[in-house]
Amino acid sequence: MKKILCSLLAIMMMLSFSSCQKQNSESASLKNNSQSDVGDTGGLQLPLTTKGETITWAVASSVTNLNDLYFKKRLQEITGVNVQIEAYPTSTIQEKIRVLAASKKLPDIVGAGFGNNEQINDLAVQGAFASVDDKLDLMPNFKSIFYEKEENKWIFNSYQASDGHLYVMPSYDISRDVNHGMLYRKDIFDKHNIKPWKTQDEFYQNLKKLKELYPSSTPFTSKNQSTLFNHLSTSWGIVANSPYYDEEDGLWKYSDTDPKMKDMLDFLKKLYSEGLLDPEFLTLTQSAWTSKMTQAEKAFVTFDWIGRLDSFTKEASKTVPGYDLRYGYPIGPKGTLITLPRVSGGIAVSQNQNTELALKISDFMLSPAGAQLVTMGTENVTYTIGEDGKAQYIEFPDHNPTIEELEQKYGLFIGGIFRRFDRRSSYFIFSEREQEAQDFASKENIFEPLDPVLRFTAEQKEIINDKMPALRKASSEFFSNYILTEKTGDSAWNEWIQKAKALGADEVVAVYNAAQKEYDK
């Protein structure tokens, strides 16, 4: 019996010693990962924990096995946090978050599912989310990017909730410089020695020449339907269906009643009347638009995403030899492009026992190391760096993968987890045509200034929410009628001005200017 007891005791001691060795080894592994392999954490100390706590994180994704993929596993290795990703389709996540909020069962981090920051603040003042303005010392990256950089400090005012606290945690530097714009058939322009436009009148003359050469064509087409007004209005210096900030006058004005809007509508009316603008531009489906743009002699200019430069060229070249789609100048008199904001979006951290750890891991995603991990993975494991300084993804030797491909393969670029992008990643690797667009816009410096992001009182929000839906609906109808029918010109415009006033346009503008005064303070 003594021998048996001694043997059992020896086995128990060995198991205990082995367990301690394993724990020490895992702790050392985490420490080694955090110090040598992770990169620049912005001052955040890793691992964030050695206890292996679980953090739940709601994201928008159609990929169902994110917890089994590389990103999640590597994130746990280097932070020590067992992140459980709760993925919901984009189409249903807003409703899901509303249900979870109502039942007080929100995940530790809500990375998606909000229509806007007001929804975060509405839940926050009810106690759902943790304030971040009083916890900056936990988040060195958030602090350095948003509090210490003067150009970003506005978020503490503009995103502030009614109780005076900040709950919204924005993303930073996830946008390209140029993502959309005017695209034109360079092969057709070159064939007929047509010099691409640089001014509004040159654009008009280009279309007239193309119509003469190809009478059955519709030179300028679009799949954007009524949102085309929004896209084009930037190069007139306004923002269709919304107030805009006039930098020269230092005032907010209502775009849809501004003389610049009439100029744009008159121009589009002229194009439409002369057969230069697709008569179906307000109803055209994407498939019908694609067909027109990829035929040999049907349409030659459009407005869309720069990814079409290559996808259309590749597709159309099968039947149209020499097809070559390129990026062109804006067509409005101001000639400006929309500026994509460096500060955007917003996540929120729930107020519970895991708040501090959740704040820290969300801050890690703002660090250069977090940006690298979520967009590229780990060097020599998922990617290498090429001679051009850009990522080359090991599992995709033949092409630069899309962010969708990388999400499915590794769990990278998850909507609601990424908070900053590494500019060496696939999203910033451009084809020759796409790079032309980036270089062109930067060289010409034709970006329209961003409007201030204002914070409104409850009373001001009520006025905006009451007036704007009817104004948007009425302006959309007016724009269509102005271009497609005979209800056009000065008489129709003056009638519209009076209708917009009756619907509350002046009241909305007054609210914006009052909020601007508070912003300026």
Q: What is the 3-state secondary structure (H, E, C) of 240-258?
A: CCCEEEECCCCEEEEHHHC
Could you tell me the two tokens for 384? 């290498």
Q: Rounded to an integer, what distance in angstroms lies between the CA atom of residue 53 and that of residue 180? A: 43
Q: Does an H or E element contain 71, and which?
A: helix 70-79
Q: Is 51 helix (H, G, I), strand (E, B) or coil?
A: coil
pLDDT of residue 231: 98
Q: Rounded to an integer, what distance in angstroms lies between the CA atom of residue 205 and that of residue 21? A: 78
pLDDT of residue 13: 40
Contact criterion met (CB below 8 Å) for 130 and 351: yes
Residue ranges of the chain with pLDDT lower than 70?
A: 1-36
pLDDT of residue 3: 39
Q: Rounded to an integer, what distance in angstroms lies between the CA atom of residue 355 and that of residue 163? A: 19
- 195, amino acid identity: K
By DSSP bridging, strand 325-328 and strand 109-110 are unpaired
pTM strictly above 0.75: yes
Cβ neighbours around 162 below 10 Å, total: 13
pLDDT of residue 37: 78
Q: Is 154 helix (H, G, I), strand (E, B) or coil?
A: coil
Cα Rg of the chain, angstroms: 27
Number of H helices, E strands in the chain: 19, 12
Q: Exposed/middle/buried for 341, CB within 10 Å: 0-12, 13-18, 19+?
A: middle
pLDDT of residue 445: 81
pLDDT of residue 221: 98
pLDDT of residue 440: 86
Alpha helices, DSSP H only, in 108-199?
Answer: 117-124, 140-142, 155-158, 186-191
Please give the C-alpha separations between residue 140 and each of 32, 144, 206, in angstroms, as whole numbers: 21, 6, 53
> 205 phi and psi, to 5 degrees?
-65, -35
Find all residues with CB under 8 Å of 151, minimum gap 6, and list them.
none
